[in-house]
Structure 1
Amino acid sequence: MPAISSERSNWYLLQCKPHQDERAHLNLLQQHYAVFHPQVLSERVIRGKRQQVRESLFPGYLFIHLGGNDNWAPIRSTRGVSRFVEFNHGPATVPENVIEHLRARCFESSISRDGPPLTPGDHLQIIRGPLSSLEGVFITSQGPERVMILLQFLNRNQTICMPLRDLERQLSSFHPNI
C-alpha cells in the first residue's frame, strides 16, 4: 500500500473478514483508533418472538479515521480486519459529510418510532407515490425502513414491498382473504 503523505486526517474504508465486523471494531478501539461501525435497529423473529436487534448497515465493512502521521502498520494485522478498500492504487477515502450523514441515519434508526410497533394485520394507508390513497394490511418488516404489505389491487391480492415513510396507520374496512 502506498504511503500517505498528507498530514490531513481522513476517513478510510476497511473490509473485515467474514462475520468479524464486531471483532475488528473492538480490536481497533483497543488500539486507540477512531472507528465508526454504522449499525441500525432492525426487527427480527428470533425463536418465534419478534425482537429488535442491531445490525451492521454495511456488513463486512468499517470506517477508520487516520492521519498521515498515524501508524497504519498494526491495522493490517488486527484480528478481524482483512484489508483497506483501495481505489486508483490507494486507500479509499470517505468524505466527512458522508460519515456525518451515516451517523445521523444510524441515530434516527435507534429512536423508537411514535406509537406501538406494527403487527401483522395492522391496516395501513399509502400516503405517497403512485399508489397513494390505497389501503393495505401489514405483513412483515423488510429491514428498518421497508415493509411488506398486502393490497387489493387490480381485482387481486398483491404483496408489495415499500418504504415505511410512505405509509400511515389507518382504520379500514379492507379485509383481504389471507
Structure 2
Amino acid sequence: MQHEGTAGNASWYVVHTRPKQEFRALEQLRNQGYECCLPTIQLEKAQRGKLASCTEPLFARYLFIRLDDRTSHWSPIRSTRGVSKMVAFGNRFATVRDDVVDALQKAPLAMQPMFVPGERVAITYGPLAGLEGIFQMKDGEARAMVLIEWMSQPQKLVLAIGTLQKAA
C-alpha cells in the first residue's frame, strides 16, 4: 500500500470511479492507506424547491491517487468499492503533474451560484411553463425574480426557484 513519504518514483495517477461514487471511492482508498486527492466545488442547487449548498467533485467520476511504481500495491485499487478502473492510454497509466494536483488541493473554489443575473432561464413548471426569461436575482431561498416579455411589455415575476432551469 502507498503510505505518505514512501521513497521512489511517486506520481499522481487518475482513477475513474463508478457514477456518483467519487466520495465512496475516496474513503475506501484512504482506508487502505493510499494518498488521494478529490478536488471539490461548492454549488447551489434546487432541492425540494429551495436553494441548497452542496459539495460536488470538480471532475465528475475522477479522482487522483499517488502511487510509487516500485513499492505500491496496485492490484487492490480496481476492486475497491466505488472504483471503476485506472485511466490508461494504451498500456500506459495516465499521470498528472505534482504541481497541477497541488494547485487543485490549494485552490479555494468559490461557491458557484445556480443562476447569475442576466442569464437566460426557462420556466419548466406551472402555467408559464415553456416561457423563457432573464434571471434577475434570488428572492429568498426558494424564489427568484425573472424578467419575461408578456404582451409586449417586460414583466418582473417572482417564481419558485425549482421551476427554473438554464435555457438551452
Q: TM-score range by the shorter chain?
A: 0.5 to 0.7
What corresponds to 1:12 in structure 2? 13
| Structure 1 counterpart of 2:87, one-letter code | V
Which of 1 and 2 has higher RCO (CA within 8 Å, sep 6+)? 2
1:136-174 CA-partner distances (Å, limit 9, x unpaired): xxxx625xxxx35159xxxxx9749xxxxxxxxxxxxxx
TM-score, L = length of structure 1: 0.59
Shift of 1:66: 0.6
Percent identity (aligned):
34
Supply the distance in 2 between the matched residues of 1:7 and 1:148 (Cα, whole angstroms).
Answer: 51
Question: Which of these residues, 110, 114, 123, is aligned with residue 141 of structure 1?
Answer: 114
2:24–2:82 contact (8 Å) kept in structure 1: yes
Q: Secondary structure at the match of 1:71?
A: coil
Q: Does 1:177 find its partner at 2:146?
A: no
Q: Does 1:54 find its partner at 2:55?
A: yes
1:141–1:148 contact (8 Å) kept in structure 2: no
Q: Secondary structure at the match of 2:42?
A: strand
TM-score, L = length of structure 2: 0.63
Please provide the CA RMSD for this pair: 2.8
- Structure 1 residues 83-162: aligned runs within 5 Å: 83-105=85-107, 107-109=108-110, 141-142=114-115, 147=116, 149=118, 159=134
State how many pairs are aligned. Answer: 121
Supply the distance in 1 between the matched residues of 2:41 and 2:68 (Cα, whole angstroms).
Answer: 28
Shift of 1:96: 0.8
Structure 1: 4+ residue segments shifted above 3 A: 157-160
Supply the distance in 1 between the matched residues of 2:90 and 2:84 (Cα, whole angstroms).
Answer: 19
Structure 1 unpaired stretches of 5+? 1-5, 114-139, 152-156, 161-175
What corresponds to 2:41 in structure 1? 40
